[in-house]
Amino acid sequence: MNEEKIKNLLGYLESLGFKNQAFEDKIRIVSNGNNQPFDLEHTVSFGVETIKFRIEFWWDHQFNAFKLVRYRAAYKSSPTAEDIVREYGPLAKGIYHVNSVYHDISGRMDDLYERFQSMDLESFTDIELYWELQQRLSHNPEKFEIKCFHNGPEGFIEYIIPVEKINANYELTTYKATLTPMPPIEHGLNNGIDTLALETLMKDIDWRNDRKLFTLHDDSDPEFTPEVEEIQSQMFRLATFPSGAFIVDQLSLKYWRGTTYFEDQIEQSAWDYEKTLPQRIQNFPITLKSRAAFNALCGRAIFQTRVYPFYVEKPAWTRFDFTAVGPNGSYICEVIPGFEKEDIRSELRNFPIPESQFEQIIDRLLLGDQAKTTLPDGKKVYLEANPEGKTINVYADSLKPIMVNFHFSPDWNPQQSVEFNDEVLKRVRRKNPVIKVDPTENKKKSQRRR
């Protein structure tokens, strides 16, 4: 094995955290006309914890060089502890960096991954969390941040989760969520195109699933589905007029941001427009699902137990009041008692929906979701909990409110069934406690709206 190949092998070992002069000496000896398998031993210490590696090398006849094929790691949590032994290689757990092996074999990696599960990030964002944590822990940092996002028609939200090493273990307690709400689009006929109908088409497509968008044939351009072709054609025609170009910017941000293919088609004017939009920023505990944080920042009520920033004496609905900010910059919460799970179930019985679907819908409503369901006649509607009115709001597929009076009250006002109009949150005047939270002092202050 020539000098260049020896240096390449040593460089690869060093990139994995194996750096030892004895390695170079032995590799040079066995490379002198010998192509028999061999192994090296190396011990790495992490305080009182140690890992003893036995690294195996085989001769690769294709490249005429030795290659690392696998290694055995024997971990001790203390000098007197029993060994925990694992094998790492292409057919086992993969080739890891020394630091990654330490966090894996000691159980710290799985513990940290488990700590993230309460946020339910992987079902709501596109992050591959386990892989991301592996990459970060390979550097054995004292602190780091995990960032991920979710993009939807209502807005773009970014999550930043700080992680810090405390007493040799990684801890996380809160995360920051930043929502950029998307303003409503002023739909109409533009250059012969019904922009509301266009958005309806775009809403029904999963823009993150490339396999459902186009087919690739060898080196040719992608062959798009007829629906995607039609949308692209209408977007192109809209963009030829200034008023239409602005709608194209809005639609592309709503549906194409964060996608693997179409994000590249978003014009710079759209990114410039997004920078002008106001943001809503709030810290949440890791025990709050990322989906619930998104819904809360969108202005919807979520059903919560006593968790910061929702200091509620017992489980209740909470909703942010974006017109009021506490001394620490956090939004003030409104607490809405009543309308619990069984009340929602009772309201759902007013809909032509099989009871077998109730549990799934209830769980989503408690998280603040606008739960999409299909009625027997094929019509798609969105359901949303309205704890103030003790009812369920109903929206068409276009998210236009559908007025209902499930309480059969002669004094019912249609406005009571609508939590949102096109621009601002509408609420029925009420006397629910408003809790102000100053996390720096961890104190609660409450007042009542008059």
Which is more confidently placed, 197 or 306?
197
The answer on 303 and 441 residing in a single domain is yes
Question: What pLDDT, on the 0 to 100 scale, is given for residue 435?
Answer: 46
- Asked whether residue 427 is domain-assigned, the answer is no
List Cβ<8 Å contacts ≥24 apart for 46-50: 46/102, 46/168, 47/168, 48/77, 48/78, 48/79, 49/75, 49/76, 49/77, 49/78, 49/102, 49/106, 50/75, 50/76, 50/79
**Of residues 317, 322, 283, 316, the one with CA closest to residue 299:** 322
The answer on 350 and 333 residing in a single domain is no
Q: Copy the structure tokens of residue 58.
A: 């085989």
Provide φ and ψ at 133, rounded to 5°: -65, -40
- Asked whether residue 444 is domain-assigned, the answer is yes
pTM of the model: 0.83
Q: Does residue 205 contact residue 227 with C-beta atoms inside 8 Å?
A: yes
The answer on 266 and 309 residing in a single domain is no
Provide φ and ψ at 424, rounded to 5°: -130, 160
Angle at 418 between CA 414 and CA 424, to 5 degrees: 130
The answer on 175 and 205 residing in a single domain is no
Tell me the average pLDDT across 324-342: 85
Residue 18 to residue 103: CA distance in whole angstroms = 16
**Of residues 257, 254, 204, the one with CA closest to residue 230:** 204
Q: How many domains, the chain?
A: 5
- Asked whether residue 288 is domain-assigned, the answer is no
Q: Does residue 168 contact residue 48 with C-beta atoms inside 8 Å?
A: no
Question: What pLDDT, on the 0 to 100 scale, is given for residue 82?
Answer: 95
- Asked whether residue 27 is domain-assigned, the answer is yes
Provide φ and ψ at 335, rounded to 5°: -105, 125
Question: What pLDDT, on the 0 to 100 scale, is given for residue 427?
Answer: 41
Quick check: 444 pLDDT over 80? no
**Confidence band for 406, pLDDT divided at 50, 70 and 90:** low
- Asked whether residue 55 is domain-assigned, the answer is yes
Of 16-25, 40-49, 63-72, 206-215, the range with the lowest mean pLDDT is: 16-25
The answer on 376 and 254 residing in a single domain is no
The Cα-based distances of 57 to 23, 41, 66, 78, 101 in angstroms read: 12, 12, 6, 29, 19
Q: Do the bridges between strand 391-396 and strand 380-386 make them parallel or antiparallel, or are there none, so unpaired?
A: antiparallel
Q: Does residue 305 contact residue 315 with C-beta atoms inside 8 Å?
A: yes
The answer on 92 and 15 residing in a single domain is yes
Which is more confidently placed, 133 or 333?
133
Quick check: 167 pLDDT over 80? yes
Quick check: 426 pLDDT over 50? no
Residue 24 to residue 9: CA distance in whole angstroms = 9
Tell me the average pLDDT across 110-128: 95
- Asked whether residue 294 is domain-assigned, the answer is no
Quick check: 311 pLDDT over 70? no
- Asked whether residue 372 is domain-assigned, the answer is yes
Quick check: 441 pLDDT over 60? no
Quick check: 288 pLDDT over 70? yes
**Of residues 174, 409, 399, the one with CA closest to residue 290:** 174
The number of beta carbons lying within 10 Å of the beta carbon of residue 434 is 16
- Percentage of residues in the chain having pLDDT higher than 90: 56
Q: Does residue 385 contact residue 419 with C-beta atoms inside 8 Å?
A: no
**Of residues 264, 257, 310, the one with CA closest to residue 285:** 310
Q: Does residue 418 contact residue 401 with C-beta atoms inside 8 Å?
A: yes
Q: In the 3-class helix/strand/coil scheme, how is the chain assigned residue by residue? A: CCHHHHHHHHHHHHHCCCCCHHHHHHHHHHCCCCCCCEEEEEEEEECCEEEEEEEEEEEECCCCEEEEEEEEEEEECCCCCCCEEEEECCCCCCCCCHHHHHHHHCCHHHHHHHHHHHHCHHHHCCCCHHHHHHHHHCCCCCEEEEEEEEEECCEEEEEEEEEEEECCEEECCEEEEEEEECCCCCCCEECCEEHHHHHHHHHCCCCCCHHHCEECCCCCCCEECHHHHHHHHHHHHHCCCHHHHHHHHHHHHHHHCCCCCHHHHCCHHHHHHHHCCCCEEEEEECCCCHHHHHHHHCCCCEEECCECCECCCCCEEEEEEEEEECCCCCEEEEEECCCCHHHHHHHHCCCCCCHHHHHHHHHHHHCCCCEEEECCCCCEEEEEEECCCCEEEEEECCCCEECCCCCCCCCCCHHHHCCECCCCECCCCCCCEEEEEECCCCEEEEEECC
Question: What pLDDT, on the 0 to 100 scale, is given for residue 174?
Answer: 94
Residue 363 to residue 69: CA distance in whole angstroms = 48
Tell which of 120, 152, 181 closes a domain. Answer: 181
Highest mean pLDDT among 23-32, 104-113, 427-436: 104-113
The answer on 194 and 114 residing in a single domain is no
The answer on 437 and 321 residing in a single domain is yes
Query: Residue 79 belongs to what domain range?
Result: 3-96
Quick check: 438 pLDDT over 80? no
What is the distance in angstroms between the CA of the first residue and the CA of the last residue of the chain? 84
- Percentage of residues in the chain having pLDDT higher than 70: 87
- Asked whether residue 284 is domain-assigned, the answer is no
The answer on 173 and 47 residing in a single domain is no
Of 27-41, 144-158, 401-415, the range with the lowest mean pLDDT is: 401-415
The answer on 394 and 350 residing in a single domain is yes
Mind listing the pLDDT tens digit for each residue in 84-113? 999 998 765 678 899 999 999 999 999 999
Question: What pLDDT, on the 0 to 100 scale, is given for residue 309?
Answer: 54
The answer on 271 and 197 residing in a single domain is yes
The answer on 84 and 13 residing in a single domain is yes
